[in-house]
């Protein structure tokens, strides 16, 4: 008798699990795609872009934006009519580490008599731990210290948040070892 009851319970359980269920919650959104990697582009010589007695490397990117890398501070950025920028920003800057940021300036912050030499599609320029590259449509600048930087693109211009697990507070522990 007990075995018939157990067989009945197992059969009833199988029937319940065999019925397709109705989802009670919305599915999780897909994770954001990883930021573009400027290091995949062909490197160019920074010396070809030196200006102001070698104090900066200046280059133009799609959208006729003027961009610079400072040899003194290591800071970098672009100014001009940045497409799809948050709050209509016309300047984006970053440094050797940490996040970049958009801002609005009442005048160009990088002044040149003519637009600097263009960074050709599929190329990148690097100085210290900063790299900027373009595919001919979008421009990506990041620091290799913690991954912070920015993307300038007709579809969306945005900040790349720093994301190096070795630099994040892990309670004094290396995140790669337990």
Could you tell me the residue range of the domain that residue 151 belongs to? 38-158
Adjacent-strand bridge partners of 91: 79, 103
Query: What are 145-163's pLDDT values in tens digits?
Result: 999 999 999 999 999 999 8
| Structural domain contains residue 153 | yes
| pLDDT value of position 13 | 45
In a domain, 94, yes or no: yes
**Model pTM score:** 0.75
Does 172 map to a domain?
Answer: no
177 part of a folded domain: no
Q: Which residues of the chain have pLDDT under 50?
A: 1-19, 21
DSSP of 143-155, one letter per residue? ETTT--EEEE-SS
Is residue 23 in a domain?
Answer: no
Look at residue 6 in the predicted model and tell me its pLDDT: 39
Q: How many domains does the chain have?
A: 1
Residue 97 covered by a domain:
yes
Residue 124: inside a domain, yes or no? yes
């Amino acid at each position: 008798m007990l075995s018939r009851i157990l067989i009945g319970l197992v059969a009833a359980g199988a029937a319940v699990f065999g019925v397709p269920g109705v989802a009670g919650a919305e599915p999780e959104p897909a994770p954001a795609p990883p930021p573009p990697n400027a290091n995949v582009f062909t490197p160019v010589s920074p010396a070809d872009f030196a200006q102001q007695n070698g104090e900066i490397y200046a280059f133009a990117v799609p959208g006729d934006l003027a961009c610079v890398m400072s040899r003194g501070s290591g800071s970098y950025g672009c100014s001009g009519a940045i497409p799809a920028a948050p709050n209509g920003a016309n300047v984006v800057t970053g440094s050797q580490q940490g996040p970049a940021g958009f801002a609005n300036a009442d005048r160009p912050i990088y002044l040149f008599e003519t637009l600097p030499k263009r960074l050709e599609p599929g190329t990148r320029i690097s100085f210290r731990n900063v790299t900027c590259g373009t595919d001919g449509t979008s421009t990506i600048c990041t620091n290799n210290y913690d991954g912070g930087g920015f993307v300038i693109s007709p579809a969306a211009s945005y900040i790349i948040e720093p994301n190096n697990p070795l630099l994040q507070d892990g309670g004094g522990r290396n995140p790669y070892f337990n």
